[in-house]
Chains A and B, each alone.
Chain A
Amino acid sequence: KQEVTQIPAALSVPEGENLVLNCSFTDSAIYNLQWFRQDPGKGLTSLLLIQSSQREQTSGRLNASLDKSSGRSTLYIAASQPGDSATYLCAVNVAGNQFYFGTGTSLTVIP
């Protein structure tokens, strides 16, 4: 069974700093990997989707990379802002419509 791990569980950085969030998975046979943002008590907002054939995706200040062979993905956030404070989750899509989520990294950006 696929297991998804996100380290660290919590991260606190000063505003303006660049940061990297990590996601690792145990089975490299994935269709895609998706990064989400979740604000307290809210649903998940899709940030980036990387298909298994891709190495990275970019959207604004966000860049996500995927290394299937090593079972790793990173989410890079440039020039962090207080509004970036949230929990960031990664999810891997395996056979068909099976999705496995990590428990997330709780990010706090200090003004």
Chain B
Amino acid sequence: DAMVIQNPRYQVTQFGKPVTLSCSQTLNHNVMYWYQQKSSQAPKLLFHYYDKDFNNEADTPDNFQSRRPNTSFCFLDIRSPGLGDAAMYLCATSRFSDNEQFFGPGTRLTVL
């Protein structure tokens, strides 16, 4: 089945230690998104790629960066995680034609 895959599902890191979260898709969608969702809050868009064009939300901290080496893969890099970065990180994809979003299962990040 076509899907959005996120690895790992659970990630524990230490304060200040860089971490990379991975997302891959078999849907061949040209848009990929990264969201941050904290407990009982709405998902917050961090950035998205339309093909290789990177779009950063104005309030996304510089501590967060992303890479999309090809259509299938997208990575979220957190350079120096703080306690406030503990959250669920959600990857999503969409077709440009209708913008229906499909989400992966998420990566739960814990910062010690």
Which A positions have Cβ atoms within 8 angstroms of B?
4, 31-32, 34, 36, 41-46, 49, 51, 89, 91, 93, 96-104
Report the Cα distance A96→B33, complex, angstroms.
Answer: 13
Establish whether residues B103 and A45, one from each chain, have CB atoms under 8 Å apart when the complex forms. yes
Task: Say whether, besides A42-B105, A43-B106, A101 and B98 are in contact (CB < 8 Å).
Answer: no
B104 in complex: contacting residue of A43, A98, A104, CB < 8 Å: A43
8 cross-chain pairs, A with B, having the tightest CB-CB distances, nearest first: A101-B42, A44-B103, A43-B103, A43-B105, A49-B100, A43-B106, A103-B42, A101-B43
Q: List 8 A-B contacts (CB under 8 A).
A: A4-B42, A42-B106, A44-B101, A45-B103, A46-B100, A89-B43, A96-B50, A97-B31
When C-beta atoms are compared, the residue in chain B nearest to A9 turns out to be B40
Establish whether residues B94 and A97, one from each chain, have CB atoms under 8 Å apart when the complex forms. yes
Per-residue CB proximity of B81-112 to A under 8 Å, as 1/0?
A: 00000001010101000111111111010000
Establish whether residues A43 and B48, one from each chain, have CB atoms under 8 Å apart when the complex forms. no
Number of chain B residues whose Cβ lies closer than 8 Å to a Cβ of chain A: 27
Establish whether residues B45 and A104, one from each chain, have CB atoms under 8 Å apart when the complex forms. no
Residue B63 is within 8 A (CB to CB) of chain A in the complex: no
When C-beta atoms are compared, the residue in chain B nearest to A42 turns out to be B105
Report the Cα distance A100→B100, complex, angstroms.
Answer: 13
Residue B14 is within 8 A (CB to CB) of chain A in the complex: no
Distance (whole angstroms) from the CB of A41 to the closest CB of chain B: 7
Distance (whole angstroms) from the CB of A103 to the closest CB of chain B: 5
When C-beta atoms are compared, the residue in chain B nearest to A104 turns out to be B42
Distance (whole angstroms) from the CB of A56 to the closest CB of chain B: 16
Residues of A within 8 A of B60 (CB): none
Residues of B within 8 A of A100 (CB): 42
Establish whether residues A41 and B100, one from each chain, have CB atoms under 8 Å apart when the complex forms. no
Distance (whole angstroms) from the CB of B76 to the closest CB of chain A: 14
When C-beta atoms are compared, the residue in chain B nearest to A101 turns out to be B42
A34 in complex: contacting residue of B44, B100, B104, B108, CB < 8 Å: B100
